Amino acid sequence: MPAPRPFRTGTPRRVATLSVHTSPLDQPGAGDAGGMNVYIVEASRRLAARGIEVDIFTRATSSDLPPVVEMSPGVTVRHVNAGPFEGLGKEELPAQLCAFTAAVLREEAQHEPGFYDVVHSHYWLSGQVGWLARDRWSVPLIHTAHTLAKVKNEALAAGDRPEPRARVIGEEQVVAEADRLIANTDEEARQLVRLYGADPARTLVVPPGVDLDRFSPGGRAAARRAVGMSQDAIVLLFVGRIQPLKAPDVLLHTAARLLADDPALRRRLRVHVVGAPSGSGLDAPEQLQQLATTLGIADVVTFFPPQPPERLADHYRSADVTVVPSHNESFGLVALESQACGTPVVAAAVGGLPTAVRDGVSGVLVAGHDAGDYAAAVRAVLARRELLAAGARRHAARFSWDRTADALVEAYAAAARDMATAPARPARERLLGPLRVLSGVQVAR
C-alpha cells in the first residue's frame, strides 16, 4: 500500500474521474445526460490545459464502444464493462458497483503505485466506487454530488417518484468519507451540512462555468433562420430533459395563460422545447405533446431533439426568453448558457438558480410554479428585454470553466496536504468500510 503523500509541486499529475452512470461522450438533454456531463467535459479539458492528465471512467453501454477514447488532448475516457450493455436503469446500477470498482482498480494496478494523485467522483454511485479507490490508493477523494436525494424528495414534482432510501444511505456514506465535497452554490453547501451532516471545513463552494466562446451573443436574425423561426415571433424556450423534475409542463401552462389573456398573441407566440424524455418522464414519453393538445396550444409548440452545443447556441440566441421552471436544480447550467447568449431567463427560485440568475438584472425569479406567476414574469421580461439582455451577458461573464478548474486544483492540493499529515487508518478499516457498501451489507460502526 503506497503511503499518502502530497503532490510534489502543489499540482496533481493525474486525476481519476469517476462517472459511473453517464458518459461525458453522451449528448446532454436525454437519458441521464445533462449538466453533469457538461461539467465533467469542460472541467476535464481545463485541467488538461494545466498539464494535468484526466482519466474518466464510465460504464460501457454498447459493445461497439472502444475501451479507450481520447476525448481531447490529455483527457481519456475509459469504458468499463459492468453489467449488461443496455437496458439498465440508474436505479439498477448499485448492483454493478463491485464490477465497476474491480475494473477501475485493475487499470490502476497496471501502473506503478501512485499513478493517480486524486480521485474525483461525480454523483453518489461514483462516490461509492471512489471511496474504495481512495482507501486502496491512499489518495484524496473529492466528491461532487450534482443532485441530492433528500433535496429532491423535499421538492418532489407531482407524479414524480421519490428517490429510494438506498440512495439516501449511499449519499450519507460518501459525504462522511470524502476528503472534500464540492458544492455548486452556497445553498448546496448549506444543504450538505443541514441534511447530511457534512463537515463545513471539508465542504467547498466551486461554481460551474460556461463556455463564453461557444455561448455568446450573435446575430439574432441569423439564429432564427437557423432554427426555422420567423423574425417577428415571440419565442419562449425550454432546454433540458423532459421529466417532472424539470417541469416543462409549467411552460406549456404559462403559454396557455398568455394566450388566454391576449388571444391576438397567437399569431406570434412560439414555444420551443429542446430535449427528450428522461427518468420518470419515460413512463409517458408523449405526455408533453398530449398536454399541448389538451391546452389547445399544439399549433404554437415545436419539439426539438437534444442539440449539439453549436446548434443549441442558435436556439438560445433566437429566443426572447428561456424558461427554467424546475422543482430543483443544483445549479442550472441552461440558465447560464442562455444568459451568455444574451437571452434573459425566467426561472424558479429554487436550488442554485438564484445564483445562476440575478433577479431583476439578468432575468426574473419566480416563487412556486403557478402559471399565472410565470406569465407575469414573462411579460415583465419582454417589457425590459434589451436591458435584461445586457444584464444577462454581464452576469454570465462572471462564471468561467477556467475559474472552476483553478478552484478544483486548489481543492485537490489542500486535500492531499491534509491526507499527508493525518494519522494513518488501519488497513482493515480502510478496506472493510467500502466493501460493506459494495456488498450491499449495512454494518453498524
Known binding residue 337? Answer is yes
Report the pLDDT value the prediction gives residue 277, as an integer from 0 to 100: 83
Confirm or deny that 231 is annotated as ligand binding.
Answer: no
Contact 343, 389 (CB under 8 A): yes
What gap in Å lies between CA 376 and CA 215, rounded to an integer? 27
Spell 365-396 as b/e; 16+ CB within 10 A means b.
bbeebebebbbbbbebbeeebeebbebbbebb
Single pTM value for the model: 0.89
Residue 115 bridge partners (DSSP): none
Closest C-alpha to 252, from 215, 220, 296, 209: 296
> Do 14-209+402-421 and 220-397 come out as alike in CATH topology?
yes
Per-residue pLDDT tens listing for the chain (445 residues):
444 454 544 789 999 999 998 888 887 666 666 789 999 999 999 999 999 999 999 999 888 889 999 999 999 999 999 888 876 777 888 989 999 999 999 999 999 989 999 999 999 999 999 999 999 999 999 999 999 999 999 888 777 889 999 999 999 999 999 999 999 999 999 999 999 999 999 999 999 999 999 999 988 899 999 999 999 999 999 999 898 989 999 999 999 999 999 999 999 999 999 998 866 556 666 889 999 999 999 999 999 999 988 899 999 999 999 999 999 998 999 999 999 999 999 999 999 999 999 999 999 999 999 999 999 999 999 999 999 999 999 999 999 999 999 999 999 999 999 998 887 665 545 455 554 445 443 333 3
101 is in an annotated binding site: no
Give the whole-angstrom CA distance, residue 132 versus residue 126.
10
Question: How buried is 35 (Cβ within 10 angstroms: 0-12 exposed, 13-18 middle, 19+ buried)?
Answer: buried
**What pLDDT does 161 receive?**
86
120 is annotated as contributing to ligand binding: no
Contact 242, 272 (CB under 8 A): no
Does 147 carry a binding-site annotation? Answer: yes
Write out the three cell numbers for 98.
463491485
Question: Is 152 annotated for ligand binding?
Answer: no
36 carries a ligand binding annotation: yes
43 is in an annotated binding site: no
Grid coordinates of 201: 471545513
32 annotated to a ligand binding site: yes
Is 190 labelled as part of a ligand binding site?
Answer: no
Q: Is 150 annotated as a binding residue?
A: no
325 is known to lie in a ligand binding site: no
Burial class (CB in 10 A: 0-12, 13-18, 19+), 364: buried
Smallest CA-to-CA distance from 19 within 51, 43, 46, 2 is with: 43
Distances (CA, A) of 387 to 31, 90, 218, 316, 378: 36, 42, 16, 17, 14
* 220 marked as part of a ligand binding site: no
Calpha distance 311→149 (Å, rounded): 32
- State yes or no: 90 annotated in a binding site: yes
What's the CA gap between 200 and 241, in Å, rounded? Answer: 32
| DSSP 3-state of 323 | strand
Q: Is 419 annotated as a binding residue?
A: no
Task: Say how far apart CA 133 and CA 139 lie, in whole Å.
Answer: 8
Q: Closest Cα partner for 389 from 351, 326, 340?
A: 340
Domain locations in the chain?
14-209+402-421, 220-397
What CATH architecture is 14-209+402-421? 3-Layer(aba) Sandwich (3.40)
The whole-angstrom separation of Cα 81 and Cα 66 is 11
Torsion of CA 285, 287, 288, 293, to 10 degrees: 140
Query: Any idea which architecture 220-397 has in CATH?
Result: 3-Layer(aba) Sandwich (3.40)
- Tell me: is residue 30 an annotated ligand-binding position: no
Query: Residue 11 annotated as binding?
Result: no
Ligand-binding annotation for 368, yes or no, is no
Contact indicator for 328, 246 with CB cutoff of 8 Å: no
343 annotated as a binding-site residue: yes
Whole-number pLDDT of residue 429: 53
272 annotated as a binding-site residue: no
